Chain A
Amino acid sequence: MITLRKTIPGLSLLALLSVWQVLATCLNSNNLPTPLIVGSVFWHGCLSGQIPFHLGVTLLRLVVSFSIAMLLGCAIGIVLGRNKKLDAFFDNWLVIFLNIPALVTIILCYVWFGLTEVAAILAVVINKLPNVIVTIREGARTLDQDLLEMASSYRFDKRKTLLHVVWPQLYPYIMGATRSGLALVWKIILVVELLGRSNGMGYQLHLFFQLFDVANILAYTIAFVAFIQLLELLVLKPLDTKAQRWRR
């Protein structure tokens, strides 16, 4: 029974590839190349160094902007979650920033700061930051007051309280923000690169769009999605398992 359950994701992926293969064969069009053709394009892109280079550039932007957004978002989220006056003051700001379309932020950043790397990173951070703040703020609001009192009565210093009392309670919220953040940030980065950078996945996708090169578009997409999946399997899931081991 367990073996069958473990094979289900693999079988499902195989089924998706089969449907794709059948559709592509039936249509017989350059607009939907077969998985084999995309695989071949992907392989050659890897060998030529093009995919690793542009994927690397995009990933670097992702790491930098995601890290800044998460660090700032966690800090601000905790402060707003614990301070009602500040929360009341900044709540409207958050709602406004949450509802500004990503494209507007990107355009404004490029207009105000030029077509630079800093403007690109800033645009991604501004887009992601409100989401992280809102998620972490919710977590900070639900912190267990009893445990905080215990920490206070036993004279835990700020570092010890943050590390051993606050952080574990915020962990599910941080993981939620991380997962949704990764999914959101890389999509924004592609737009940022498409509009104002001369390298990265977004730039390449724009190029292939102009050439109607669907095989390359799919090859680059698969490369990125595969990377995020690997990150989930090799980093996030093991982290989750380790952090949740105290639960029944």
Chain B
Amino acid sequence: MIAIDIKSKMFPAKGRAGHHLAIADLQLSFNSGEFVCLVGPSGCGKTTLLNIIADLDRDYEGSVSFDLRRSHPKIGYVFQNPRLLPWRTVRENIELAIEGNSSSENIDALLEVMQLTQFQHVYPERLSLGMSRRVAIIRGFAINPDVLLMDEPFVSLDAPTARQVRSLLITLWQQRPHTVLFVTHDLREAISLADRIVFLAAAPMKVVNEIAVSIPRSERDNEQVIEAFRQQLLQDYPELR
């Protein structure tokens, strides 16, 4: 389980204000193996929240605690931009993320699920954007993370490619059900992926609502089902519009 209790997170601001309060009194918790989508408008601090969880941003008041025996949690992070090392092949990028001895079979299996086996010795510059995103997802799963953070990883992909990568992601997650925090501003995407959706508002960030997605996984490919759920959601909770 992950418990987040952020009292305040400020950013320097121009003018008299001095500081801009990005997050205030935010409490969230995530269960082990849960797929949670964080949905909110642009600029509401979703990436900041992920950076705090990933320990990339320590300039805040509050705490992020993991229910673990280890001192440091293992955190996989799939960024908006895949952030692969261009001078390392697909396989080397994955191997580098794994501490100590990497299991070759583990990487083989991940590459196979994400349909990248034949591209494992290729440099990232020769991959399409969709393929690069899949490599970044493999890297995240390969470390066997306590939490996998995904920051709008399918943004700027065309609709069919995004659908394909989403489907591969869910296949992989069902095989390896790690806790996933997935940031998006696309409600349809959130409904198609999440066990639970956390709706966030901006300035400062706060939780507007939390909703469990009741659609069975087997029906998530059906766009009509997703759209019907979305319409129902917006009707029941007008504040989410």
A, B in one complex: yes
**Which residues of the other chain, B, contact A168 by a CB distance below 8 angstroms?**
85, 87
Stretch from B59-67, B76-84, B188-196, B224-232 at the A interface: B76-84
- The reply to whether B75 and A164 contact each other, CB–CB distance below 8 Å, is no
B163 within 8 A of A: no
Given A155-B99, A164-B85: A149 and B72 within 8 A (CB)?
Answer: no
- The reply to whether B123 and A153 contact each other, CB–CB distance below 8 Å, is no
**Which residues of the other chain, A, contact B86 by a CB distance below 8 angstroms?**
246
Compute how far the CA of A177 lies from the CA of B56 in the bound complex, rounded to whole angstroms. Answer: 33
A224 within 8 A of B: no
- The reply to whether B88 and A150 contact each other, CB–CB distance below 8 Å, is no
A225 within 8 A of B: no
Mask: chain B, 33-46; 1 = CB below 8 Å from A; 0 = not = 00000000000000
B143 within 8 A of A: yes
**Which residues of the other chain, A, contact B81 by a CB distance below 8 angstroms?**
146
- The reply to whether B125 and A150 contact each other, CB–CB distance below 8 Å, is no
- The reply to whether B83 and A150 contact each other, CB–CB distance below 8 Å, is yes
A5 within 8 A of B: no
Compute how far the CA of A39 lies from the CA of B154 in the bound complex, rounded to whole angstroms. Answer: 67
Which residues of chain B from 191 to 237 have a CB within 8 Å of any chain A CB? none
A247 within 8 A of B: yes
Compute how far the CA of A156 lies from the CA of B85 in the bound complex, rounded to whole angstroms. Answer: 13
How many of chain B's residues touch chain A, expressed as a range?
20 to 34
Compute how far the CA of A153 lies from the CA of B97 in the bound complex, rounded to whole angstroms. Answer: 9
Which residues of chain A from 130 to 153 have a CB within 8 Å of any chain B CB? 146-147, 149-150, 152-153
For A, the interface residue count at a CB cutoff of 8 angstroms equals: 17
Which residues of chain A from 147 to 205 have a CB within 8 Å of any chain B CB? 147, 149-150, 152-156, 160, 164-165, 168
Neighbour of A146 across the interface among B83, B97, B125, CB < 8 A: B83
Neighbour of A165 across the interface among B54, B85, B123, B125, CB < 8 A: B85
- The reply to whether A154 and B56 contact each other, CB–CB distance below 8 Å, is no
Given A150-B77, A153-B54: A164 and B88 within 8 A (CB)?
Answer: yes
- Most chain B beta-carbon contacts within 10 A, residue among A149, A165, A246, A248: A246
- Most chain B beta-carbon contacts within 10 A, residue among A152, A154, A155, A248: A154
**Which residues of the other chain, A, contact B75 by a CB distance below 8 angstroms?**
153-154
B96 within 8 A of A: yes
Compute how far the CA of A157 lies from the CA of B86 in the bound complex, rounded to whole angstroms. Answer: 19
**Which residues of the other chain, B, contact A156 by a CB distance below 8 angstroms?**
96
**Which residues of the other chain, A, contact B77 by a CB distance below 8 angstroms?**
150, 153-154
List 6 additional contacts besides A152-B56, A155-B74, A165-B85; criterion CB under 8 Å: A147-B83, A149-B56, A152-B55, A153-B56, A154-B139, A154-B143
